[in-house]
Structures are given as structure tokens and as C-alpha cells.
């Protein structure tokens, strides 16, 4: 067993949440009366803290909180369930759990929403802890979420992060943790390589082998 404690990102790693997130981002831009970015840029909203993405793409700093609140108006009611687990991920989680691995979620998505999504797909039962962002923004960056999770669970070694964006790789690296990068999500493969991902995996079999 190469690692004992496996930390998974949620959006883009466990589930394809693009439809609900993008529709809710567009909803926010429409209500704010701001022209939204193009489709390729909209995909970059999946993963990092929402407020950062809104500010980066035309929303004034003073409207950051308002934009996130409007996004949640739609996402918290409808968007969070416009989502689906990636093929094979549930079977992999079940197998890893049965083999004795301890599984966790570390996401920049609000923790309450992450738990609702995973319960909806009957996936929460595979995880010893589901950690996410706080609604007040006090815990939002990926490294803050990971650090909170590790301290809460008392985990000190045999840890690997699994994620689909540079934010997962960098967040893990800030805590001197390795990160396995998956290609089926929303991140740039070259960015993840350059950021220091220990390996890039293209399917569930490769992910299982990288963990083993």
C-alpha cells in the first residue's frame, strides 16, 4: 500500500459538475448585467474559489460577494444536482474502501453542498470525512481545506491528493503533499505537470495503479 489516506477533489475528479456550475455562473452574470466570458473561460470557474473567478473575469471587486450569492440562488436549488459521477469512480471508491484505504474529500466547494451532492449520489458512505469551504469564506483555498481536514482527522503521513486542476496540485504542494492529477476533469494537463503533479492518469485503472 503506497498510500493509506487518499484525499479526493470533488468537481472534475469525482463528479462532472460542469453543467450546473456553468449555468449558475451565467445566471449570475445575467442578473448583474455583465457580459459573461466565453465558454472556454467559463470552464475555468470549476475548481477555484468562485469569488476569485468572478473578479478575474469582469466582475468588480465590490460585487464579489453579490455575484457569489446570486450564483448560489440557482446552484443551491437546481445546479448542484445538474451533475453526475464519472464512469467507474463509484466502483473504484468501493474497491479502495474494501482494501482498507481511508478516503476523504477536500474541495473548495462549500462543505454543506459537497455533502449534499455526495449523499444524492450515494457516495458519501465511502468517505471518512468530507471537508470543504465555509460559506463565510474563512476556509476557501485548497491548502486551507486540506490542512483543516488533516488536523481534524489527525492524519500526518501516507497521504496523497487526487485532483483535476492546478489548484489541487499547488494546494497539496503547499503542505508538502504529493498530488495525482486526473485528465477527465477541467484542468490543463501541462499546468499540472509544471506545478509538480507526481503523475498524470487518464482513466480509473491508471488511478488505481497510481494509488497502489
Could you tell me whether strands 5-8 and 159-163 are parallel, antiparallel, or unpaired per DSSP bridges? parallel
Got the DSSP string for 66-104?
A: HHHHHHHHHHTTTGGGS-EEPTTHHHHHHHHHHTT-EEE
Catalytic residue (choose from 9, 16, 164, 168): 9
Nearest to 21 by CA among 62, 76, 89: 76
9 is catalytic: yes
Asked if 164 contacts 9 with a C-beta cutoff of 8 angstroms, the reply is yes
User: Which sequence positions are flagged as catalytic?
Assistant: 9
Amino acid at each position: 500500500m503506497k498510500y493509506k489516506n487518499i484525499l479526493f477533489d470533488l468537481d472534475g475528479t469525482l463528479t462532472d459538475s460542469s453543467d450546473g456550475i456553468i449555468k449558475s455562473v451565467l445566471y449570475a452574470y445575467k442578473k448583474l448585467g455583465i457580459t459573461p466570458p466565453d465558454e472556454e473561460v467559463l470552464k475555468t470557474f470549476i475548481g477555484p474559489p468562485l469569488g476569485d473567478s468572478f473578479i478575474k473575469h469582469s466582475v468588480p471587486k465590490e460585487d464579489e460577494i453579490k455575484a457569489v450569492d446570486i450564483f448560489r440562488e440557482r446552484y443551491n436549488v437546481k445546479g448542484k444536482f445538474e451533475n453526475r459521477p464519472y464512469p467507474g469512480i463509484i466502483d473504484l471508491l468501493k474497491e479502495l474502501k474494501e482494501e482498507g484505504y481511508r478516503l476523504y474529500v477536500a474541495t473548495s466547494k462549500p462543505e454543506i453542498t459537497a455533502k449534499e451532492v455526495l449523499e444524492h449520489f450515494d457516495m458519501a458512505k465511502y468517505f471518512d470525512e468530507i471537508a470543504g469551504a465555509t460559506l463565510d469564506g474563512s476556509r476557501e483555498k485548497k491548502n486551507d481545506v486540506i490542512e483543516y481536514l488533516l488536523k481534524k482527522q489527525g492524519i500526518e503521513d501516507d497521504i496523497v491528493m487526487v485532483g483535476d486542476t492546478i489548484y489541487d496540485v499547488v494546494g497539496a504542494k503547499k503542505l508538502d503533499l504529493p498530488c495525482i492529477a486526473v485528465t477527465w476533469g477541467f484542468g490543463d494537463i501541462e499546468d499540472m505537470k509544471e506545478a509538480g503533479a507526481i503523475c498524470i492518469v487518464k482513466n480509473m485503472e491508471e488511478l488505481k495503479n497510481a494509488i497502489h
